[in-house]
Amino acid sequence: MLRSKRLSSLLVIGVAATIWAPHAVAQALDSPPVGLPHWDATNQVLFFGGGVQGPFFVRGYVDAHRRGADINMFKDFPGLQQAIVDSVTAGPDNATLIAATLNFGGRDIRMSVLTYDSSAGLVKSWASAPQYAEAIAYSKDDDAIFVLGDRDVPNGSNVSDYPLVVEYSRDGRVLKGMVPVSTLKNSGNSFDQGGEIGQPALRITKDRIYLYAPRNREVVMCDRNGVVLAYRSISDIVEKISTEDGYHLNQIHQVDFSGDGNIVLELLLSNNKDYSLDVFQLNIKTGEAIPVHKAVNGGGLSFIGVKDGQYLYIGEGGNLYVQSDEAQEPEPLSAASEKRTRVH
């Protein structure tokens, strides 16, 4: 049975005022994107087209430059009525892999992992069932796809401790299962998503696997064999930092992981008069919360993810900004790139 998808908008916040105007010209995406953003943290690629698909395309960017052709799933599946883009990741040779729920009407609903080449041609389609593909990530180190998700298990059934992370070959063959479902509190029901808890996240590095399970705001860090190195529910931390200064939590927006394994997330807070977009870095092991960026009643920037050790934001008009740990405010991506070039 298809589980319901609760989608939260990451960018449509209704910003009414701008309190910070950068002096330098920002690097803008070279075509206006359509649809919700999805940050492929593993490969450092920004995609748009997440959420419920109608006439929208899936489009990728490396920095501000287009990556491959726009992908229209409807042209490849006659009779398709609706498509939900659950996750996107960048494959080899500018390929794009999409975990999608395809609705053909009635009971004909298919959960598929689709591979498109750089020209937006569909080259492969396979199902991860019985596993739900809540988040996917292609690792070039393994030439493999990692899929994060629960399984559809009947209530009361005696089910083994199945893996939450499964490594697949590019053609959909299972290579390895990791991170048993018993690692999380609500075994079999940990990836429910919504405004105040956020959406699932997965990041693969050469030696680590990081995941975020929204229902209980659980963060897990593993080695590449699935051995858990750190675990924490961050609910108590999020509640504490959200209620300071008379505010309360409205939404958790984007979630990502820093190079040292800490989780980074943007919180939309409100006190019923004003609102604030606050970015925090949370230490998984100690629970320490470090403020990164704060914008009261706007600022025009939304956190996207961690790019090359810096915090990536997007502003009005598709302008991109980055912020280092040492900086008080983000700066245009183009200016930061020029600084790195001069240094090297």
Average pLDDT for residues 264-268, to the nearest whole number?
96
Residue 272 lies in a domain: yes
Cα dihedral angle (51, 308, 259, 36), rounded to 10 degrees?
-10
| Contact of 32 with 323, CB cutoff 8 Å | no
pLDDT in the model for residue 154: 62
d(CA 73, CA 85): 10
Q: Which helix (H) or strand (E) holds 341?
A: helix 333-343
Confidence of residue 317 (pLDDT cuts 50, 70, 90): confident
Number of domains the chain is built from: 1
Residue 309 lies in a domain: yes
Residue 59 lies in a domain: no
Q: Which helix (H) or strand (E) holds 167?
A: strand 163-168
d(CA 67, CA 40): 13
Residue 211 lies in a domain: no
| Contact of 310 with 329, CB cutoff 8 Å | no
Domain enclosing residue 251, as ranges: 234-344
d(CA 165, CA 302): 29
Residue 29 lies in a domain: no
Task: Give the max Cα distance, the chain.
Answer: 62
Cis ω on the peptide bond leading into residue 180 (within 30° of 0)?
no
User: What pTM value is reported for the model?
Assistant: 0.89
Residue 304 lies in a domain: yes
Average pLDDT for residues 281-293, to the nearest whole number?
94
Q: 53-80 pLDDT, tens per residue?
A: 666 789 999 999 999 999 999 999 999 9
Residue 22 lies in a domain: no
Cα–Cα nearest to 260, from 233, 281, 236: 281
Is residue 5 pLDDT above 50, yes or no? Answer: no
Q: Which helix (H) or strand (E) holds 166?
A: strand 163-168
Residue 168 lies in a domain: no
57 phi, psi to nearest 5 deg? -105, 160
